[in-house]
């Protein structure tokens, strides 16, 4: 990854670590994640970037296994307990994303990606307990993963 992108990720990561609002923290760590996979994959569409992450050898994916502590596993299990989540885009209402296998990297990331889509497109309410839990758990997972991978890669 080029030095400029690494510096930007460092900056956003630091802001995310200092942020107390879980919605903003998730947003900041998702920005780090997206910058990373955009830079490494060379792709500009989310589906292509995610496909690269899942199918190609890369340091970010490699570091996922290293963050799998009991704490991280409990966060992921709590996400599963909040599954499924509806795709809130107008043309996709009634379609749901499930998290069934807490050991499946791709399924976990796709589930968090759906949370991201709903949040970024205005369909996550910080006053809704389920929405707040989904965003907070996703943010904690991404924070741990991005901080660790950025340190190690």
pTM score, whole prediction:
0.94
Is pLDDT larger for residue 90 or for residue 102? 102
Query: Please, where are the H alpha helices in 19-128?
Result: 22-41, 46-55, 59-64, 70-81, 105-120
- Rg from Cα positions in the chain: 15
Neighbour-count burial for 27-60, b at 16+ CB within 10 Å, e otherwise: bbbbbbbebbbbbbbebeeeeebbebbeeeebeb
pLDDT digits (tens, 9 = 90+) for 43-101: 999 999 999 999 999 999 999 999 999 999 999 999 999 999 999 888 888 899 999 99
């Amino acid at each position: 990854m080029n030095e400029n992108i690494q510096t930007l990720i460092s900056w956003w990561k630091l802001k995310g670590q200092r942020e107390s609002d879980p919605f903003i923290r998730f947003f900041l760590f998702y920005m780090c994640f997206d910058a990373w996979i955009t830079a490494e994959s060379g792709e500009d569409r989310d589906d292509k970037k995610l496909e690269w992450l899942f199918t190609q050898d890369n340091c970010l994916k490699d570091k996922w296994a290293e963050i799998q502590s009991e704490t991280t596993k409990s966060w992921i299990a709590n996400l599963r307990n909040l599954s499924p989540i509806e795709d809130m885009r107008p043309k996709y209402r009634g379609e749901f994303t499930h998290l069934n296998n807490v050991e499946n990297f791709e399924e976990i990331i796709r589930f968090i990606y759906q949370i991201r889509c709903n949040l970024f497109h205005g369909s996550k309410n910080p006053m809704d307990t389920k929405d707040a839990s989904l965003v907070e758990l996703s943010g904690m997972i991404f924070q741990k993963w991005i901080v660790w991978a950025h340190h190690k890669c």
